[in-house]
């Protein structure tokens, strides 16, 4: 990091430390998080699960909503028919093979540096955005209904009006993962996205986390949307500049704890531990426990061992199931895939309508029409001349509205 940024970090830490007794605040949070981890480690299901049919029928219970808010994550089963997801999986494989993607990807290796500071190797994530299955999944009515439900778990009221429109979503074009069975090199160590050092330095983030920095962590509501759409992230390939109420993916194959797939720390308020940990006396004045501009915000045993003990795998999911997690939830991809089948997903998050997301969607529409990589990602632009990529003629009315074309 440059000297100017180091100075900003020092100044921010001095300011935040002046708001409360950060040592006492951290010890209180630490105790609460250890208690959460104890519950997780006792075993049994801790990640909430819903059937899509209950969302479609308006039959989700208050208890289920409360569980999702507490855990910060949920598996929604059956958003797509199994056969549909399996067909998409095969079609993406054909799209990759027909366009000789792997050869082209080797030629452009090194453009995407977002995960370079994490200890595990680069994941087997394909820099593809516009295959027809990806576009079809994003614009599906069942996906839209699922995202409306998830968006409405948030309190959208803000001082200047609603922070976002929970009932309408812009598409956020992300990539796809196709992980080979037996792989031992392609994991992602624990991290969170949507900003690294910004979470301490950005004025909007400081307001979002005001109760935590003020020593009142119990008053922090991770589902309060105020200021969430006003954060500004350091520009870098693969740093998300849209506001997502939930990150997420759609399963294309069966995958679970032994299959090199997703693990989470299922505690929505665990961010309080993370933020206060960086303000303790054993962390250098110009350091935020390793936060680096333009990179994923890593969680390490050196600094965050208390909460990392709560890292737990998602349950087995089937093709057509979806997995969702709050943008402040720490997550990882296992280093080893010891299963017998590919662990394949399409990344689709929830990105509701608001001015921040609209500004991005307009840039993304230009990339879609030209077949270029989505604006948040490395400009690899594989699909400009790919056979069989989706075009505007493949969009439904809902898809056109989501893509602003």
Digit-coded pLDDT (tens) for 223-238: 999 999 999 887 766 6
Dihedral of alpha carbons 51, 52, 58, 64, sign: positive
Q: Give per-residue pLDDT as tens, 298-318.
A: 999 999 999 999 999 999 999
Helical H segments across 99-186, by residue range? 101-107, 132-138, 141-151
Q: What was the pLDDT predicted at 239?
A: 75
Q: What was the pLDDT predicted at 404?
A: 97
**Beta pairing class for 49-51 and 73-77:** parallel
- For all residues of the chain together, what is the average pLDDT? 92
- Strands (E) located in 312-387: 312-313, 322-325, 331-333, 343-347, 352-353
Q: What was the pLDDT predicted at 119?
A: 47
Q: Any idea which residue has 């109760």 for tokens?
A: 211
The token duo for 60 is 């989700």
Phi-psi region of 77 (alpha: psi -120 to 50; beta: other; left: phi over 0): beta
Tell me the C-alpha distance between 165 and 159, whole Å: 15
Tell me the C-alpha distance between 114 and 71, whole Å: 26
CB 301 within 8 A of CB 308: yes
Tell me the C-alpha distance between 264 and 134, whole Å: 24
Low-confidence residues of the chain: pLDDT under 70: 1, 108-123, 184-187, 236-238
Tell me the C-alpha distance between 338 and 333, whole Å: 13
Q: What was the pLDDT predicted at 43?
A: 86
**Beta pairing class for 165-169 and 331-333:** unpaired
Closest by CA to 341, choosing from 274, 261, 275, is 261
Tell me the C-alpha distance between 197 and 233, whole Å: 9
The token duo for 178 is 């196709």
Q: What was the pLDDT predicted at 50?
A: 98
Q: What was the pLDDT predicted at 123?
A: 43
Q: What was the pLDDT predicted at 237?
A: 63
**Between the CA of residue 29 and those of 193, 207, 218, 309, what are the distances in Å?**
22, 19, 9, 15
CB 260 within 8 A of CB 187: yes
Tell me the C-alpha distance between 348 and 23, whole Å: 38
Closest by CA to 47, choosing from 81, 77, 6, is 77
What is the three-class DSSP state of 246?
strand
CB burial of residue 168 (10 Å; 0-12, 13-18, 19+): middle
Helix (H) or strand (E) holding 353: strand 352-353
Closest by CA to 358, choosing from 397, 396, 326, 401, is 401
CB 244 within 8 A of CB 225: no
Q: What was the pLDDT predicted at 112?
A: 56
DSSP at 278: T
Helical H segments across 72-121, by residue range? 82-98, 101-107
Q: What was the pLDDT predicted at 248?
A: 98
Helical H segments across 166-316, by residue range? 198-201, 203-208, 210-213, 271-277, 301-308
DSSP at 394: G
Kindly give the interhelix angle for 22-41 and 301-308, rounded to the nearest 10 degrees: 50
Q: What was the pLDDT predicted at 121?
A: 43
Tell me the C-alpha distance between 255 and 261, whole Å: 7
Q: Any idea which residue has 């959460």 for tokens?
A: 36
CB 373 within 8 A of CB 367: yes
Q: What was the pLDDT predicted at 104?
A: 85
Q: What was the pLDDT predicted at 185?
A: 62
What is the three-class DSSP state of 229?
helix
Tell me the C-alpha distance between 83 and 100, whole Å: 26
């Amino acid at each position: 990091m440059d000297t100017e940024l180091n100075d900003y970090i020092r100044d921010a830490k001095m300011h935040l430390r002046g708001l409360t007794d950060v040592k006492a605040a951290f010890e209180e949070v630490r105790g609460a998080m250890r208690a959460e981890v104890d519950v997780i480690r006792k075993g049994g299901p801790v990640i909430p699960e819903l059937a899509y049919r209950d969302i479609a029928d308006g039959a989700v219970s208050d208890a289920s909503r409360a569980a999702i808010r507490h855990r910060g994550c949920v598996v929604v089963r059956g958003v797509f028919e199994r056969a549909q997801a399996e067909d998409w999986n095969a079609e993406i494989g054909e799209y990759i093979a027909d366009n000789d993607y792997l050869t082209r990807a080797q030629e452009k290796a090194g453009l995407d540096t977002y995960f370079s500071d994490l200890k595990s190797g680069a994941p087997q994530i394909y820099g593809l955005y516009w295959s027809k299955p990806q576009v079809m999944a994003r614009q599906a009515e069942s996906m839209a209904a699922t995202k409306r439900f998830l968006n409405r778990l948030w309190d959208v009221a803000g001082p200047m009006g609603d922070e976002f429109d929970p009932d309408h979503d812009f598409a956020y074009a992300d990539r796809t993962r196709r992980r080979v069975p037996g792989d031992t090199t392609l994991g992602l160590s624990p991290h969170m996205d949507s900003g690294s050092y910004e979470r301490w330095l950005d004025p909007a983030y400081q307001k979002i986390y005001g109760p935590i920095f003020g020593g009142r962590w119990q008053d922090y509501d991770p589902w309060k949307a105020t200021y969430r759409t006003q954060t500004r992230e350091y520009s870098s390939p693969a740093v998300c500049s849209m506001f997502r109420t939930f990150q997420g993916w759609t399963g294309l194959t069966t995958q679970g704890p032994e299959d090199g797939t997703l693990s989470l720390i299922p505690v929505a308020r665990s961010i309080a531990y993370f933020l206060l940990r960086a303000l303790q006396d054993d962390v250098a004045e110009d350091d935020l426990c390793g936060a680096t501009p333009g990179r994923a915000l890593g969680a390490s045993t050196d600094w965050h061992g208390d909460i990392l003990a709560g890292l737990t795998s998602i349950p087995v999911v089937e093709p057509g199931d979806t997995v969702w997690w709050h943008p402040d939830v720490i997550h990882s991809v296992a280093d080893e895939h010891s299963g017998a089948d590919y662990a394949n997903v399409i990344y689709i998050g929830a990105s509701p309508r608001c001015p921040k997301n609209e500004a991005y969607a307009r840039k993304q529409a230009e990339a879609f029409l030209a077949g270029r990589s989505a604006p948040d990602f490395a400009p690899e632009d594989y699909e400009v001349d790919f056979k069989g990529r989706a075009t505007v003629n493949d969009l439904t009315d809902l898809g056109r509205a989501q893509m602003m074309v």
